[in-house]
Amino acid sequence: MFNKLNKKQSTTAETLSKKRDKVCLPIAKEILSMIAKYEKVEVGMGNINPANVKKEYAELCKDVLTLMLKEDIKISEVSYIFRVVLQPYNFVKEIVEQSMNEHMKESMEKIWGKDELDVRMSEIDDLLTGRRKMVVDENLPVEENKN
């Protein structure tokens, strides 16, 4: 009996999720497109004065709200839509940062000549104070200086 009830609940949840996605995903994609194309901000990204944020983004926010009104979405779908909007950013950010961290780990191992976790505090101190020279991997390709 419980298996039938769980299966019915699961099927109902999947159906509701598909219905929500059918409505919300195109809206999220449109919002992403609107953000990417928005050129009204006079200052560079990252250099926005918090006091001017509402003014700088007022037109974009109005356009997003107009889209949501036109599509007549539920209030409960607003949060979901913005989670979907942020999802590609979060995925790309995580993958790029993970790749950079792995490359940094590899480069540190080449510098120290051993696993970074095996490096001792005295070795770091010696390197920073000039009492130790960096290890150079002889197998690394060397580019000629063209100056």
pLDDT of residue 98: 96
Using a pLDDT cut of 90, give the percent of the chain over it: 46
pLDDT band at 6 (very low <50, low <70, confident <90, very high): low
Residue 16 has pLDDT above 70, yes or no: yes
Residue 145 has pLDDT above 60, yes or no: no
Q: What is the DSSP letter of 46?
A: T
Give whole-number Cα distances, 84 to 31, 91, 111, in Å. 10, 11, 41
Residue 43 has pLDDT above 60, yes or no: no
Torsion from C-alpha of 134, 135, 139, 141, nearest 10 degrees: 0
The residue ranges of every structural domain in the chain are 1-73, 88-137
pLDDT of residue 127: 83
Q: What's the average model confidence in pLDDT over 120-132?
A: 85
pLDDT of residue 2: 58
> Rounded to two decimals, what is the model's pTM?
0.63
Residue 40 is which amino acid? K
pLDDT of residue 47: 67
Residue 21 has pLDDT above 90, yes or no: yes
Q: Where are the alpha helices (DSSP H) in 1-147?
A: 2-37, 53-71, 75-112, 121-129
Separation CA 77–CA 83 (nearest Å): 10
